[in-house]
Amino acid sequence: MTEISRVWLRDARPDDRVHLLLWDTANEAQINLVALHNNAHLVNYRENLLQRISQDEKFLALHHDLDRELAAIKSVCSRVNKPLVLLAGLDCLITYLQVHSGSHITLFWKNLEQTRKLERLLWILLPHQLAPKTWSEQRIKRIPSR
């Protein structure tokens, strides 16, 4: 547990852009501890998506609504009063885009990396294997697997 308390996310720069926390073996308790230690608001993308979709929608075609998903990711930073947001569960969207079409995932990563003027520092928790290869190393923190 002491190693988790050393996961420091608050000093990331630039603080108005998206950062990646790559961690393969994180469990819910560890994620909650990192969020608590960093005074972060923890958001689960899956739950957020379920709240946003309409009961009338018969199909979930996220690859057609990348702008909507990017806007939703950006908006989680504006609805909180903590200085940092930790977004978990985005692996479901990334996996969906990778399986559906390679061009959509490339566009998604490009747009996400270029997102600026976020109201809070945003960290996205992902497994190492889902991280884009072109993402700036200065905006990545890796937690090694044991």
Residue-wise pLDDT tens digits, 101-141: 667 888 899 999 999 999 999 999 999 999 999 999 999 99
CATH number of the CATH domain containing 12: 3.40.50
Q: Residue 99's pLDDT is what?
A: 86
Q: Is residue 38 a part of any domain in this protein?
A: yes
CA distances from 14 to 9, 56, 105, 130 (A): 12, 40, 24, 22
Cβ atoms 40, 85 nearer than 8 A: yes
Taking only Cα atoms into account, the Rg of the chain, rounded to an integer number of angstroms, comes to 15
List the domain range (segments joined by +) for residue 19: 2-54+64-143
d(CA 110, CA 77): 19
One-letter identity of residue 71: A
Q: Is residue 117 a part of any domain in this protein?
A: yes
Q: Is residue 87 a part of any domain in this protein?
A: yes
Q: Helices (DSSP H) in 56-143: which residue ranges?
A: 66-75, 91-100, 102-114
Q: Is residue 59 a part of any domain in this protein?
A: no
Q: Is residue 112 a part of any domain in this protein?
A: yes
Total number of domains in the chain:
1
Q: What is the DSSP string of 38-52?
A: TTEEEEEHHHHHHHH
SS3 of residue 130 by DSSP: helix
pLDDT band at 5 (very low <50, low <70, confident <90, very high): low
pLDDT higher than 90, residue 3: no
What's the pTM value of the predicted model, to 2 decimals?
A: 0.91
